[in-house]
Amino acid sequence: MLVNVKTMLEEAKEGKYAVGAFNTVNLETTRAIIEAAKELSSPVIVQLTEKTFDYAGGRAIFHLIKNIAEFYAKDIPIGIHLDHGKNFEIVERAMDIGFTSVMYDGSRKEYADNLAATKKIVKIAHGRGVVVQAELGNVPYLGEVQMENIDWEKYMTNPDQAVQFTEETGIDTLAVAIGNAHGFFRERGEPDYERLSSIAERVHIPLVMHGASDWHNGRVVEVIGRGISCFNVDTALRMAFIGGLRGALLSEEETDLRKILTQAKERTKVAVKEKILAFGSAGKA
Ligand code: G3H
Ligand code: 13P
Ligand code: ZN
């Protein structure tokens, strides 16, 4: 069943576990996410980016997710969310399609510009009953930054700004930067746990962790204990899907696409389940 993402994440915050927000691009990934959640009785968020709108058709994939959620997972709380909406147009397009949860990502802008743009979008979104996640600080992408010698200070969320930003914009959830980065990095420094604690002590909305899908479970548990209520997971699923596909393609005789893609889906489902177990959301549906 489809539920309100804000309520889902507030319950996670209260219960001291995190919900996985898994990126989908197609039918197989969507089914892997929802089947894993159903088999583990876990709430889950299925999310997609603008690039996936362009790839699959925003309306087509939204209704695909919605139909699977409503007909095949009636007892499982499922949120559908726009991930990394980089401008007003894509956020508006998502709301027109029926998304009730969006991220406006103004993290590449100067602080004052991010604040002003986020505030404007929140006002419009709340007027339409849509909840908004924003990002403060900057969670970089592999490829966008050097892998070594990153000046993390430049990217991290400032706790004082986080308080002001949250109060002034009225956002529902906040993505934080504490040394996390999108993609699988060969080298990873230790996250700034103290910074996370100082944000969580003063910002009372659910906090979201992007760019941590290659973190080991020790780190995951540590940041949940310090106030993270949601993890975005994309790269780990793509790696699993591609691994499953490669394995399936080793059999040269197989020409049934459904059988090939099922192997990719099953491998993805295993990866989703591992994350759900690490996040502590199994059994919380
Ligand atoms: O943070 C975003 C995800 O990694 C997905 O990125 O769909 O824009 O390639 P993309
Ligand atoms: P990963 O690249 O660690 O999977 O992060 C995904 C993400 O933050 C999507 O918004
Ligand atoms: Zn992200």
- The mean per-residue pLDDT over the stretch 245-269 comes to 95
User: Is beta strand 228-233 parallel, antiparallel or unpaired with respect to 78-85?
Assistant: unpaired
Whether 285 maps to a domain, the answer reads no
Indicate whether 271 pLDDT > 80. yes
The answer to whether residue 164 sits within a structural domain is yes
What lines the ligand 2 site, CB under 6 Å? 23, 83-84, 182-183, 210-213, 232-236
Q: Is residue 135 part of a domain?
A: yes
- Looking at all shown ligands, the one closest to residue 230's CA atom is 2
Structural domain containing residue 171: 5-279
Interatomic CA distance for residues 225 and 191, integer angstroms? 14
Is it the case that residue 20 has pLDDT exceeding 90?
A: yes
Q: How far is CA 62 from CA 29, 97, 121, in A?
A: 13, 8, 21
Q: Is residue 284 a part of any domain in this protein? A: no
230: left (phi over 0), alpha (psi -120 to 50) or beta: beta
Active site annotation includes 83: yes
Say if residue 260's pLDDT is above 80. yes
Per-residue confidence at 147, pLDDT binned at 50, 70, 90? Answer: low
Res 186 pLDDT > 80 = no
Say what the pLDDT of residue 149 is. 72
Which class for 193: exposed (0-12), middle (13-18), buried (19 or more C-beta within 10 A)? middle
pLDDT of res. 16? 98
Residue listed under structure tokens 């219960």: 15
CA of residue 253 to ligand 3 center, whole Å = 39
Structure-block tokens of residue 223: 């940041």
Distance from Cα 239 to the centre of ligand 1, integer Å: 13
Of 96-100, 150-154, 277-281, the range with the lowest mean pLDDT is: 150-154
Is the predicted pLDDT of residue 261 greater than 70, yes or no?
A: yes
Instruction: Tell me which ligand sits closest to the C-alpha of residue 50.
Output: 1
| φ, ψ of residue 105 in degrees (nearest 5) | -105, 95
User: Which pLDDT band holds residue 252 (cuts at 50, 70, 90)?
Assistant: confident
Could you tell me the maximum CA-CA distance found in the chain, to the nearest angstrom? 60
DSSP secondary structure, 128-197, as one string: TT-EEEEEES---BBTTB-SSS--GGGTSPPHHHHHHHHHHH--SEEEE-SS--BS--SS-PPP-HHHHH
- Average pLDDT, integer, range 242-246: 97
- Dist CA 105 CA 117 (whole Å): 10
- pLDDT higher than 90, residue 121: yes
Q: What mean pLDDT value characterizes the chain? A: 96
Ligand 2 site-directed mutation target among 234, 241, 242, 268, most atoms within 8 Å of CB: 234
Query: How many whole angstroms separate alpha carbon 115 and alpha carbon 269?
Result: 37
Which pLDDT does position 143 carry in this prediction?
78
What integer is the mean pLDDT of 37-62?
A: 98
Residue 177 has pLDDT above 80, yes or no: yes
CB atoms within 10 A of CB 152: 17
110 belongs to a structural domain: yes
Provide the pLDDT for residue 187: 67
pLDDT of residue 217: 96
Ligand 1 environment, Cβ below 6 A: 23, 49, 51-52, 83-84, 182, 234
What CATH number has the domain bearing residue 169? 3.20.20.70
- What is the predicted pLDDT for the residue at 230? 99
Whether 285 has a pLDDT exceeding 80, the answer reads yes
Instruction: Enter the tokens of residue 78.
Output: 């499922």
The answer to whether residue 128 is domain-embedded is yes
pLDDT in tens, 192-217: 999 999 999 999 999 999 999 999 99
In ligand 1, the atom with minimum distance to the C-alpha of 48 is 7
Q: How far apart are CA 97 and CA 95, in angstroms?
A: 5
Question: What's the Cα-to-Cα distance from 64 to each of 15, 20, 28, 186, rounded to whole Å?
Answer: 30, 19, 11, 35
Answer yes or no: is 144 within a domain. Answer: yes
Report the sign of the C-alpha dihedral through residues 249, 250, 254, 258, in that order: negative
269 assigned to some structural domain: yes
Region 134-145: mean pLDDT is 89
Domain count, the chain: 1
The structure's pTM equals 0.97
